[in-house]
Structure 1
Amino acid sequence: MSLFSDNIKYLRVNKSFTQQGVADDLMITRARLLKYEDGTSQPPIELLKKISNYYHVSIDIMISVDLRKISIDDLLLLDDNRILLPITVDRQGENFIEIIPHKAKAGYTAGYADPEFIENLQQISLPFLRNGKFRAFPVEGDSMPPHKEGSFIVGRYVEKLEDVMDGKTYILLTKNDGIVYKRLNKNGKNLTLQSDNKVYKPYEVKASEILEIWEYACSIATKEFLPDDLGIENVKDMFRELRNDIATLKH
């Protein structure tokens, strides 16, 4: 847990706290805190939770991310001390898009904050995508037609939850579901995730469960769209939307 010891020392110094002051707040001795900061000892889980709450940084971030390399002020604080890590866009103008292949999809949940994992991903460049950080995610299932399984959704990184717009589609990385692509609507501190395929029922995700949010920017199809793909449910949806549009025009 060397990162943990470096992080708690950095957080204390960054806030201009003294060792004795932090130790008093945590109700431990200064000597005990010193051992945690120099890495010679590790705190028990209950104290680890207490330190996490004290600095408002989640445990998994505290033990897996070098906080000295990112701006604490740029972190987005969510419920339960969850934070979204900022992603820095290349200042040289090169906008490389990392591709998350199907075989790496499961590993992305654990490796999204690991620079080495991200660096080893294949990259492409799309000149029409500018002003943001982009990443390509694989599509699975048939919940978001016309995007077929095997296609890729290219998303623009979203740093603030308030930038999420109701009714638009986003790729979410969540603690429980991994990577999902859905249409979002805000519901207090929760987000309602809805599939365009009405066979699948909408469900809610707490803001505290979100690790990353990527707004739809474009898609890359790897299979040809066929006329047969326009199933009966899609036809019904088209007529339903047309009826709603007509009703809106009348008003």
Structure 2
Amino acid sequence: MSILSENIRYLRAQLKYSQQKIADDLLITRGRYAKYEDGDTEPPIEILLKISRYFRVSIDLLVSVELRRFPMDELLRLPDNRILLPITIDGSGENKIEIIPYKASMGYLNSYADPEYIETLQHLSLPFLRNGNYRAFPVEGDSMPPFKDGTFIIGRYIENIQEMKIGKTYLLVTRTGFVYKRLAELDEKSIRVVSDNSFYEPYRIPFQDLLEIWEYEYSLMKDYDFSDGNTQEIKGMFLSLKDDIKRVESHLKR
């Protein structure tokens, strides 16, 4: 069964309605509605819109989030275009800053709306980042100097695309991965983003390809982790530096 079929089955159970009642309200046959709940067929967009309005839950939530994980009264208060954001909270009630590890982009894309996955992430707390929800993402490449491989961009979650501002930088979670870019243009269907490194061409991202938007707040350099296989590499760096120092000292003594 798909997430959609599980969700509409769950929502109907919460309302304690029969399949026949909902089918009548949607102006379709009970057999047709039953196929949507069983996952045998997917509803066309016009029926999906009706289902979304009927249950007062956005299409994005219906097709991407397991609704049984969240209290119904919280779901019903969500604005129509808001993506539900799972977060972790420490014992004092303060939001933690989850850290998305390197080489985890596909794992995050598959599980960004899963609270259990978010809870498994390492986290940190920064006392000067309190108002909002924050997450740390790895940056790779050289398109946004001075940030290089090893940098983590900490972004503040943006709920509505219209909150984005021209000229500011954003960590964008798209259907294909993470990108850190500067917003150059915002229209009715897409955004145009640019790199601070002029070598890279600007490009557009359609709204439907945007999963999450995080506005830049802070950056952190990633320290070496001696437990992840980098030990020999670091030893080599120090040995090479030691040899260079010896050569310089030998040259000065001549």
Common fold: TM-score over 0.5: yes
The one-letter code sitting in structure 2 at the alignment partner of 1:194 is: V
Provide the residue aligned with 1:44 in structure 2. Answer: 41
- Long gaps (5+) in structure 2: 53-57, 224-254
Equivalent residue runs for 1:68-107 within 5 Å: 68=68, 69=70, 70-77=74-81, 84-87=83-86, 90=89, 92-107=92-107
Provide the identity percentage: 48
- Cα deviation, residue 9, structure 1: 4.0
- Cα deviation, residue 169, structure 1: 0.5
- Cα deviation, residue 66, structure 1: 2.3
The RMSD of aligned alpha carbons is 3.0
Provide the residue aligned with 1:65 in structure 2. Answer: 65
Structure 2 contact 87–115 (Cα < 8 Å) conserved:
no
Separation in 1, partners of 2:10, 2:222: 46
Equivalent residue runs for 1:105-120 within 5 Å: 105-120=105-120
CA deviations on 1:93-113 (whole Å, 9 max, x unpaired) are 323111111121221111101
Are 1:178 and 2:177 matched, yes or no?
A: yes
Are 1:136 and 2:132 matched, yes or no?
A: no
CA deviations on 1:102-147 (whole Å, 9 max, x unpaired) are 1212211111011121111111111111111110000010000000
| Alpha carbons of structure 1 residues 179 and 214: separation in structure 2 relative to 1, 3 Å | same
Provide the residue aligned with 2:193 in structure 1. Answer: 193
Structure 1 contact 89–132 (Cα < 8 Å) conserved:
no
Tell me, what secondary structure is at the counterpart of 2:103?
helix
Separation in 2, partners of 1:48, 1:131: 40
Equivalent residue runs for 1:159-178 within 5 Å: 159-175=159-175, 177-178=176-177
The one-letter code sitting in structure 1 at the alignment partner of 2:166 is: D
Separation in 2, partners of 1:15, 1:206: 36
- Cα deviation, residue 64, structure 1: 4.5
Deviates more, 1:64-73 or 1:164-173: 64-73
The one-letter code sitting in structure 2 at the alignment partner of 1:123 is: H
Tell me, what secondary structure is at the counterpart of 2:62?
helix
- Long gaps (5+) in structure 1: 78-82, 224-251
Tell me, what secondary structure is at the counterpart of 1:182?
strand
Tell me, what secondary structure is at the counterpart of 1:74?
coil
Normalising to structure 2: TM-score of the pair? 0.71
Separation in 2, partners of 1:15, 1:203: 45
Structure 1 contact 76–159 (Cα < 8 Å) conserved:
no
Provide the residue aligned with 2:227 in structure 1. Answer: none
Normalising to structure 1: TM-score of the pair? 0.72
CA deviations on 1:192-247 (whole Å, 9 max, x unpaired) are 11111111111111112211111111000238xxxxxxxxxxxxxxxxxxxxxxxx
Separation in 1, partners of 2:15, 2:129: 38
Provide the residue aligned with 1:239 in structure 2. Answer: none
| Alpha carbons of structure 1 residues 87 and 131: separation in structure 2 relative to 1, 3 Å | farther
Separation in 2, partners of 1:73, 1:166: 30
| Alpha carbons of structure 1 residues 136 and 158: separation in structure 2 relative to 1, 3 Å | same
Separation in 1, partners of 2:50, 2:186: 29
Separation in 2, partners of 1:64, 1:106: 15
- The count of aligned residue pairs is 212
